[in-house]
Amino acid sequence: MRSLRATLLPLFLPSFIPTVLGAPNELPEVLARELLRRAAPNSPSGNYAPATVDCPPQKPTIRDAATLSPSEAEWLQKRRANTVDPMIAFFKLAGISDFDAASYVQSNSNNFSVVPNIGIAMSGGGYRALMNGAGFIAAADGRTPGSTTTGGIGNLLQASTYLSGLSGGGWLVGSIFANNFSTIPQLRDGEDGSALWQFSRNILKGPKDSGLSILNTAEYWNDIADQVNDKRDAGYAISLTDYWSRALSYQLINDRDGGPSYTFSSIADADQFIAADTPMPILVADERHPGETVVALNSTVFEFNPWETGSFDPTIFGFAPTKYVGSNFSNGAVPDDGHCVRGFDQFGYVMGTSSSLFNQILLQNISDSSLPNFITDAITSILQSIGEDDDDIAEWRPNPFYGYHPDTNGNADTELLTLVDGGEDLQNIPLHPLIQPVRAVDVIFAVDSSADTTYNFPNGTALRASYDRSLNAIGNGTKFPAVPDAETFINLKLNQKPTFFGCDTSEFTSGSDNDITIPPLIVYVPLTPYTAYSNASTFNPSYTDEERNAFIENGFNVATMGNGTVDAQWPACAACAVLSRSLQRTGTTIPATCSSCFERYCWNGTTDSTPVGSYEPQPILGLTALSAGVPIKAGGLVWVTVGAAGLALAL
């Protein structure tokens, strides 16, 4: 029998590879122009520094987290309605043969206890996570060429309510929203003179030619230093995260000098977002108390959304308005004699806070000859003042939760709120905001690009962390499906295909617990090689355009199971996952197609904890593009990059 690879490649690759995502650098002019409109550069200082402003008539306060914010609740009324049409399109494309899902949604379009509520979560993992996640978003985005053909899952993004990210996944989510909810092909190809998604130039050296102001590496770092100094001169503490954030922004925000005056809260003022034409973006970070060097699983998880910054955890259980997060809060309010600040939520700084682990890129290269002396001196000075144990922190001072909930808030008596990379507590998939009962999410597509194994593949560690946390007091009663051990993930190949967790809801409704809240179904979508080994090192700082494009392409294949070539029913099965909780609520008989899907994709509780040696997955559709970085071992072979020639095979 011929192998799947031998059978499919001659048919699949010639027609599929050139058209998926659109041919690079061949975007229609009208789409390229869309990149010119972005989230607003509305910091009142006009630069990277926050600025004191007049307080609004009703001074900002901290809101209790028992409910959604009024802004989110109002927005949801429009957003849930706006998901109906793309959800119908998604279901029509999926083609559940024995159930008219489109009519089911259409007939209940005014009843949002029936219409499924969808979330998408993008894991951390540096540029690897950004590019693999970009492939998933491209596949889910109905605007992407090839996403709505047979085998596609297009319009899933448009049908979603929430889109969360942390660390490298936060770069992806942040870059999409900083650039007018641009498509992945738009971000990939940028525009003439732009440094957007130009990862071939090491972030330490800066863009080759931004077409705006940067001429060389020294000038690049001089501009970054000036921006950070603006913040310091305005009276605010700085950390290594400020330098990292500014450097990162040049690659992710399509504006002069990386958009130093762009704010995260400005998303809420964008016409497209006000109209609820996009999902709601959420970035995640962890709290680390002063003096601590390890972020434990019971650390407070913070979220940043366009309206609010805070936590549902019982430690804080409150939210501050993102627009005024740098204001002089005390005991839950800005006092009568206090002042208000805007611009502290600088867009790059929010992304940098969620990915503060990557301060290590600066530290590991502090002796790099390309770094100007004034930058290495500045970094050394910061290390001397804060100590090496705090080199991964982002300083949020003044602490908006100063004096708030002092009985449970470990930072209530300090003016400094210390936040770190959202994956440092092992919850490397930002599920926390989406499993909160008040958001009533039905299904979460959890895209995992974590580096849990020797060769940088995921093994479910992030899911297990979220499950373990839900069993402790810090979980605050929020439930999460059971998840097996790492060996089971590998031995049963749960990390080589989409896997559903939480299909059997009896685990949430049995026993003496009177709370029958059922958490979202988790559709776990792990990075695995289809057409490229995209398992590059987390801290690899640069990629050729060919590698970038191949990694995104592989992510597209992961999301669609090779555009349906591995399982032609995968789009229908993804649709069944979306419908699952709704069908249960309405007592609707599960279609035979969905029952078959659940048998194949649901984890049924089986475990195999046999010790695993070296995990080296084979590419599912065969390698068609460059692998990246240092030698990446798989299947007993080592593939190494050899310039433009492609891959060399070393025994």
Confidence of residue 19 (pLDDT cuts 50, 70, 90): very low
* Amino acid 517: pLDDT: 86
Cis peptide before 281 (omega within 30 of 0): no
Residue 47 lies in a domain: yes
pLDDT at position 628? 40
pLDDT, residue 203, reads: 86
In a domain, 269, yes or no: yes
What are the E-state strand segments in 51-195? 51-53, 63-64, 118-122, 162-165
Confidence (pLDDT) at 32: 43
Q: Extract the tokens encoding 605.
A: 């509780």
User: How confident is the model over 499-519, as a mean pLDDT?
Assistant: 82
Amino acid at 439: R
Looking at residue 393, what DSSP letter applies?
A: -
- Please indicate, yes or no, if residue 630 is contained in any of the structural domains: no
- The helix/strand count (H/E) of the chain reads as 20, 17
- Mean pLDDT, rounded, for 554-567: 97
Q: What is the pLDDT of residues 142-169, one digit of tens each?
A: 999 999 999 999 999 999 999 999 999 9
Whether the predicted pLDDT of 405 surpasses 60 = yes
* Residue 215 pLDDT: 58
Q: 625 in a domain, yes or no?
A: no
pLDDT top residue among 404 and 368:
404
Once rounded to an integer, what is the mean pLDDT over residues 1-29?
39
Query: Residue 520 falls within a domain, yes or no?
Result: yes
At 446, the pLDDT band (50, 70, 90 cuts) reads very high
| 547 within domain boundaries | yes
- Which residue blocks in 431-544 are alpha helix, DSSP H? 461-470, 486-491, 506-509
Does 323 have pLDDT greater than 50?
yes
Q: Does position 27 have pLDDT exceeding 50, yes or no? A: no
Beta strands 280-287 and 301-304 are: antiparallel
User: Which stretch of 88-92, 220-224, 478-482 has the lowest confidence by average pLDDT?
Assistant: 220-224
Domain that holds residue 484: 4-613
643: in domain: no
Q: Is residue 633 part of a domain?
A: no
Determine the pLDDT at residue 608: 98
> How open is the CA angle 111-441-324, to the nearest 5 degrees?
105
Q: Which residue has the higher pLDDT, 530 or 222?
A: 530
| Cα distance between residue 134 and residue 176, in whole Å | 10
pLDDT of residue 36: 44
**For the domain that residue 97 is a member of, what is the CATH number?**
3.40.1090.10
Q: Residue 633 pLDDT > 50, yes or no?
A: no
Number of domains in the chain: 1
pLDDT over 90 at 630, yes or no: no
